[in-house]
Structures are given as C-alpha cells and as structure tokens.
C-alpha cells in the first residue's frame, strides 16, 4: 500500500492574525507555524493503514523553505519520505494552481491512496484535495471519520450534515480527514532523530513539468481586493441583578422586548 | 458568452435544505443587479414535485435533474450531471450553499470547469457588473473581499447568512435528460439522525456549553429545547469526550451563524470565537467576569451556569408558554 499524504504548514489556530500594510496579505513575522491540524490526522491515519497493510507513506508539501519543518514533523511521526515543492514561482498560487502542481508531483509517485485534511485552517478554501482528485481522475471521499480496507477497496465513514454515510471506492482514491478519525501521535525524540536521516526530495515546479507562467500570485483566479477585521460588536452589556433568577429575568426581557429575537 | 446565474439547490429525502432558499433569493438579487436570469437546478430521484417550492424565490427557470442514480449524493454523479448542465446553460455565476455537500461538490466542479471559486461567502456585492464576495479566512479572524477572474465565477454561500426573500417570476420548469456518467464511489450504508434534532449550522438559536459544564449538559439541553434551538460545544468538551465531534463549534469544528448564540461556561478561546463570531446576537454566561467571551458578546451574565441557565429556561418558558 503506497500512501501519499498532502500536508500544509499554517498559522497555529491560537495565533493572532494581523493584516499587513499592503491590506491584502497578513503579517507573518510573529506567527507560530504548525502542520494544519487536519493534516496531522491524515498523517496518523496513513501510518496506521501502512502499519496494518505494509507499504510506505510519502508526505508531499508545497511551500517556502520553512515548510520543510512540517514535512520533518510528519517524518518524525513515522512517515517514510518527503517531497517538498519549494519554488518562488509557485508562491501565492490559488487553490486550483496549487492542486495542479500537487497533482503533477503525484504523477511521479506510486500511490494507492492519497490522504489530506478536508481544509487548511489558513484560507479555509476546502478546495485543494478535491481538485487534486479531479486532476488525477480518481474518486474523492471527504470528511472521513473511520476507514476500513479490504480487497483493494476502501470503505470510509464520512460525516454529512445530520449523520454519516459509508462510501466505498476502488483504489486509487483520495479521502480527506475530519476530527474524530484518530488522535494524532506526537513525534517521539527517537522519531525526531530518525527523521533527520529520512529522504526528502526538493522539487521546483519546472521539474514537475509545470509552466511557471501559469501559476503563482499573478495567475490567481481568486484575487484578494481587501482584508478586513471582522466587524466589531458594541461593548458588552452586563446584566445586573442579585440572584440568578433576577439576572435570568432581565436577560430574557432584553432578548424578548429589545432585541426581539425570542 | 456566458451569462445568467445558475443556482445549485440541495435536497435530501425530498426536503430542501434551508440554504437552498437563501441561495435562490441571493441569486435573484445578483441577477437583478446584473440584468440577467436565474436558473435553479434540483438534483435527486423523484424530486419533480419539489421544483414548485422554489418558484416563490424568483428563478426564471428550474431544471429538474431526476435520476435514480442521484437519490443519494455522490461527488462523481452529481459533478458529472452538473458539469453537463453548466455546459448547456453557460452561466456567468454559479451559486450554491456551503453545506458539507456543497463544499465537496463545488470544489470538484470548480476543478472540472477550471473556474475560480469563493468558498463560504457571507456577502456578495455587485458593482459595474463585477462580483465582490466577502469570505471569512483563518476561521473568521479575517474577512477577505475577493473577486473571481474568468468567464465563470463560483460563489458558495455560508448557510444562515443570506436573507430569504420571496419574489416570484414567471417560471419555466424543465426536465433535461441526465447522463450520470462514470461513478467510482458507492454509498453502502447511511446513518441519518432521526427525530427533531436541528442541524447546528441551520439552527436559528444555538446554546453551547464549555468546560464550565463539567460534562453535564442537561441544563444546556433544556434551554436549547425551550428555545427550539440546537446544542453546541467547545473543543475542550469534545476533547474530553463529553459531546460528539459533530457538536463542536469552532475553527476546527462547525461554523455557525445563528440569530442567537448562547455561550454557557465557555471561556472564549480564539479558536472557539472563530466558529461563532458571525452570529447575529451573542449571549455569554460565565462565572469568571474576566472571561474573554464577554469581549465578543452583546449581552453578558456573570454567574454559575448551573444557577443561571435553569432560571433562563424558566423565564423562556413563561413567554413561550
């Protein structure tokens, strides 16, 4: 079983995000960068499937030099090898261009199964994994909370609004992870030491057969016109009162008579 | 030349998701600004009678893609059928709801059609024939105004945000022939929550509990029931195993935009705030007057949730009878 995991380095969800002076990008200097939390779940699931089925786990990421940290983290968790697509020409690519580059990298790798987070918690586009599956012509199963493998097929329990469905597909296939699938392991100290010796290939997009003039910030189909902070609410109004019952009565009165929402 | 607004509605087991009405209403507003038409599509099996329910929101045409193979949603069948319909209609804008199904389907379709897509939008403005979509990023810490380049723009709207408005037009219903094409996935089992449970992302009222509940959600559930709302939870509650993942509100859970959000015993971690900050009205109940949640709330009550929440439930029952 050859498994490829797509990972992305993103700002930690506890990070404060600030808008840069250009008004269309964020300040990056004070951010703590981590592996996208859904991708950690993807790496963990890949390791579990590999350990049950034998085979290998390859981690693929696109990003600047520091994105190598995220690949190393996955290798320290137990993945076997990494591919880092590091090319200034790819910087600022939109989801479709990113997916085209990743799909080109995947065409050079053997794979039975591709696993990715269902979204990256930076731009929240929910698009790259689906687009990779489309460009490779393979089925996708999104937001998976349980997997079973049998006879060259994968069976995934996926969340839908108001329930779950079980979806089956022949391999090769791609699925995306949702919280609840597993609890990602932490990289152990021996794992971190071993990761330093694991192979990590660095590729440019030209090496993947992608014309740099078709990707990157200049070729985005989605252009950011402005970034804004969410509208600020007015200062909180505290409900006064002695006992809980008094406060509750006042609260409901405001909601009913002033806000008119109950 | 591509023109018109094409709305992909969503139904399950013969009932439309609410966001479908929001999407058709928004499509009508966009089409009126652009001086063009709205075509709505209904996909499913045995869904012809449903088309009429959309008419009052103002589409000019409704296409019913009816086929036994569309009874359950699969990415392949739905994207195959839609890609054909889009090719024949040649719209300038595709609109759909950012439900779990809508996100999966729109992403695949955008790649198939090589079209730009703005996901999970909370507002769409039209000026000089160009759309500007507002969409939260970084879990709602930042709102981006984005524009889509190209002949075809795909706009996927966050449920519970756009206004539903009735604006009936002369409407034609057509039932085009459907080619489901190659389907590589099969639904082998379904487990749908039965009963009256309200889906979190569609609820008008959400009552959420945090670590302050200590895992006891009885008072939260009672208030939600009295208000006719859904129950949500913070990440720590889900991490403790007190509530299922499907109840989690936050940057790594569900994003909700109800009319009223009641946060009980939730301190207000930044990743939780991301999941509920587009709520229209926020009430916080917490015994710590310094809890960050109060800085994001409209109305705050300092007190023990086990005292305050049952008292609120009683007061709600008085006015709701």
Residue B313: what pLDDT? 98
Choose among A43, A45, A25: nearest CA to A35.
Answer: A43
Considering the domain boundaries, does residue A226 fall inside one? no
- Residues A194, A247 within the same domain: no
| CA dist., res. B16 & res. B10, Å (int) | 6
Residue pointed to by tokens 């002033």: A258
| CA dist., res. B20 & res. A207, Å (int) | 44
Residue B195: what pLDDT? 66
Q: Which residues of B87-114 are buried (b: 16+ CB within 10 A; e: fewer)?
A: eebebbbbbbbbbbbbbbbbbbbbbbbe
pLDDT digits (tens, 9 = 90+) for B235-280: 999 999 999 999 999 988 899 999 999 999 999 998 899 899 999 9
Give contacts of B143 with chain A, Cβ < 8 Å: 227-230
- Residues A6, A60 within the same domain: yes
DSSP B150: S
Residue B192: what pLDDT? 87
Measured in residues, chain A has a length of 262
Number of H helices, E strands in chain A: 6, 13
Residue A14: what pLDDT? 85
- Residues A120, A164 within the same domain: yes
**Residue B111: φ, ψ to 5°:** -70, -40
- Residues A16, A136 within the same domain: yes
Give contacts of A259 with chain B, Cβ < 8 Å: 281, 298
Considering the domain boundaries, does residue A224 fall inside one? no
pLDDT digits (tens, 9 = 90+) for B188-241: 999 987 766 788 999 999 999 999 999 999 999 999 999 999 999 999 999 999
- Residues A247, A153 within the same domain: no
Cβ A180 vs Cβ B254: under 8 Å: no
A contact test, residue of B144, B152, B255 with most A CBs within 10 A: B144
| CA dist., res. A77 & res. A80, Å (int) | 9
Cβ B245 vs Cβ B254: under 8 Å: no
Considering the domain boundaries, does residue A229 fall inside one? no
pLDDT digits (tens, 9 = 90+) for B129-143: 899 999 999 988 899
Considering the domain boundaries, does residue A55 fall inside one? yes
- Residues A94, A144 within the same domain: yes
Give the residue-averaged pLDDT of B148-172.
96
pLDDT digits (tens, 9 = 90+) for B53-66: 999 999 999 999 99
CATH homologous superfamily for B200-320? TPP-binding domain (3.40.50.1220)
Give B190's contacts (C-beta < 8 A, 6+ positions apart). A163, A164, A165, A166, B72
User: Distance (Å) from the C-alpha of residue A198 to the closest C-alpha of chain B?
Assistant: 31
Give the residue-averaged pLDDT of B16-43.
97
Contact between chains at A37 and B278 (C-beta distance less than 8 A): no
Measured in residues, chain B has a length of 321
Kindly list the averaged pLDDT for each block of 10 residues, start to end, along chain A of length 262.
Answer: 98 92 94 97 98 97 98 98 98 97 98 98 96 98 96 94 94 96 96 97 98 96 96 92 95 95 92
Considering the domain boundaries, does residue A45 fall inside one? yes
- Residues A45, A118 within the same domain: yes
Contact between chains at B311 and A224 (C-beta distance less than 8 A): no
Name the segment(s) of chain B with CATH classification 3.40.50.620.
5-174
Q: Does domain B5-174 bear CATH number 3.40.50.620?
A: yes
- Residues A101, A142 within the same domain: yes
Considering the domain boundaries, does residue A178 fall inside one? yes
Q: At what angle do helices A128-136 and B100-113 cross, to 10 degrees?
A: 50
Contact between chains at B110 and A127 (C-beta distance less than 8 A): yes
Q: Above 80 in pLDDT, residue B148?
A: yes
Choose among A107, A104, A125: nearest CA to A220.
Answer: A125
Residue B197: what pLDDT? 77
Q: Which residue of B has its CA nearest to A167?
A: B187
Cβ B273 vs Cβ B254: under 8 Å: no
| CA dist., res. A108 & res. A58, Å (int) | 12
CATH of the domain at A53: 3.40.50.620
Cβ B60 vs Cβ B39: under 8 Å: yes
What average pLDDT is seen over chain B?
A: 95
Give contacts of B141 with chain A, Cβ < 8 Å: 16-17, 229-230
Name the segment(s) of chain B with CATH classification 3.40.50.1220.
200-320
For the beta carbon of residue A191, count every other beta carbon within 10 angstroms: 16
Cβ B42 vs Cβ B59: under 8 Å: no
| CA dist., res. A29 & res. A12, Å (int) | 13
Residue B196: what pLDDT? 67
Contact between chains at B138 and A124 (C-beta distance less than 8 A): yes
Strands (E) across B56-122 are located at 61-66, 93-97, 116-121
**Which of B101, B104, B227 is facing A262, going by the closest CB pair?**
B227
CA–chain centroid gap for B146, Å, is: 20
3-state secondary structure of B206: strand
Q: Which residue of B has its CA nearest to A174?
A: B185
Can you give the three-state secondary structure of A21-66, one letter per residue? Answer: CCCCCECCCCCCEEECHHHHHHHHHHHHHHHHHCCEEEEEEECCCC
Q: Above 80 in pLDDT, residue B1?
A: no
- Residues A213, A239 within the same domain: no
A97 is in which domain, residue-wise?
Answer: 2-219
- Residues A134, A262 within the same domain: no
Considering the domain boundaries, does residue A261 fall inside one? yes
- Residues A73, A7 within the same domain: yes
A255 cis-preceded (ω within 30 degrees of 0): no
3-state secondary structure of A68: helix
Considering the domain boundaries, does residue A225 fall inside one? no
User: Distance (Å) from the C-alpha of residue B144 to the closest C-alpha of chain A?
Assistant: 4
| CA dist., res. B76 & res. A130, Å (int) | 11
Q: Which residue of A has its CA nearest to B142?
A: A229
Give me the number of domains chain A comprises.
Answer: 2
Q: Above 90 in pLDDT, residue B112?
A: yes
The ipTM assigned to this model is 0.95
Tokens (6 digits) for A50:
């590999």
Q: Which residues of A122-142 are buried (b: 16+ CB within 10 A; e: fewer)?
A: bbbbbbbbbbbbbbbebbbbb
3-state secondary structure of A27: coil
- Residues A107, A46 within the same domain: yes
| CA dist., res. B247 & res. B265, Å (int) | 16
């Amino acid at each position: 079983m050859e498994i490829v995991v797509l990972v992305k380095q993103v700002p930690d969800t506890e990070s404060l995000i600030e808008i840069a002076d250009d008004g269309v990008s964020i300040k990056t200097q004070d951010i703590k960068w981590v592996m996208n939390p859904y991708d950690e779940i993807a790496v963990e699931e890949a390791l579990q499937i590999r350990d049950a089925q034998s085979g290998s786990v390859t981690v693929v990421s696109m990003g600047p030099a520091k994105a190598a940290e995220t690949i190393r983290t996955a290798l320290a968790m137990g993945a076997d090898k990494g591919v880092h697509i590091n090319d200034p020409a790819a910087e600022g690519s939109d989801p479709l261009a990113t997916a085209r580059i990743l799909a080109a990298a995947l065409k050079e790798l053997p794979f039975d199964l591709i696993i990715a987070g269902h979204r990256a918690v930076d731009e929240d586009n929910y698009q790259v994994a689906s687009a990779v599956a489309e460009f490779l012509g393979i089925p996708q199963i999104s937001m998976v909370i349980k997997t079973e493998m049998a006879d060259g097929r994968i069976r995934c329990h996926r969340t839908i609004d108001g329930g779950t469905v079980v979806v089956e597909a022949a391999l090769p296939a791609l699925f995306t992870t949702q919280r609840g699938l597993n609890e990602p392991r932490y990289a152990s100290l021996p794992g971190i030491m071993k990761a330093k010796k694991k192979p990590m290939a660095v590729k440019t997009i030209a090496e993947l057969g992608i014309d740099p003039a078709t990707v990157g910030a200049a070729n985005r189909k989605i252009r950011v016109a402005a970034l804004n902070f969410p509208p600020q609410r007015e200062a909180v109004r505290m409900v006064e009162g002695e006992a809980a019952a008094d406060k509750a009565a006042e609260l409901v009165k405001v909601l009913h008579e002033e806000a008119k929402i109950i | 030349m591509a023109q018109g607004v094409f709305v992909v509605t969503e139904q399950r087991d013969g009932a439309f998701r609410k966001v479908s009405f929001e999407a058709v209403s928004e499509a009508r507003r966009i089409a009126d600004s652009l001086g063009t038409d709205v075509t709505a599509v209904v996909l499913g099996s045995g869904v012809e009678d449903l088309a009429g329910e959309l008419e009052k929101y103002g589409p000019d045409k409704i296409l019913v893609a009816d086929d036994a193979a569309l009874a359950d949603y699969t990415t392949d069948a739905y994207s195959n059928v839609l890609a054909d319909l889009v090719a024949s209609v040649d719209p300038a804008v595709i609109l759909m709801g950012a439900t779990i199904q809508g996100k999966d389907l729109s992403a695949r379709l955008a790649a198939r059609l090589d079209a730009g897509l703005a996901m999970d939008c909370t507002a769409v403005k039209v000026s000089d024939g160009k759309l500007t979509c507002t969409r939260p990023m970084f879990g709602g810490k930042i709102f981006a105004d984005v524009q889509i380049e190209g002949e075809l723009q795909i706009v996927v709207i966050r449920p519970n945000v756009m206004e539903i408005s009735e604006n009936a037009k002369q409407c034609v219903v057509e039932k085009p022939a459907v080619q489901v094409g190659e389907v590589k996935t099969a639904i082998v089992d379904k487990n749908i929550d039965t009963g009256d449970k309200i889906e979190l992302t569609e609820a008008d009222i959400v009552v959420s509990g945090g670590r302050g509940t200590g895992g006891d959600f009885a008072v939260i559930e009672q208030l939600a029931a009295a208000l006719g709302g859904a129950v949500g939870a913070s990440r720590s509650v889900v991490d403790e195993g007190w509530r299922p993942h499907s109840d989690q509100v936050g940057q790594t859970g569900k994003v909700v935009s109800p009319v009223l959000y009641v946060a009980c015993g939730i301190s207000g971690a930044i990743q939780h705030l991301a999941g509920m900050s587009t709520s229209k009205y926020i009430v916080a109940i917490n015994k710590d007057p310094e809890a960050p949640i109060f800085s994001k709330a409209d109305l705050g009550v300092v007190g023990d949730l086990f005292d305050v929440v049952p008292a609120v439930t009683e007061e709600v029952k008085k006015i709701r009878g």
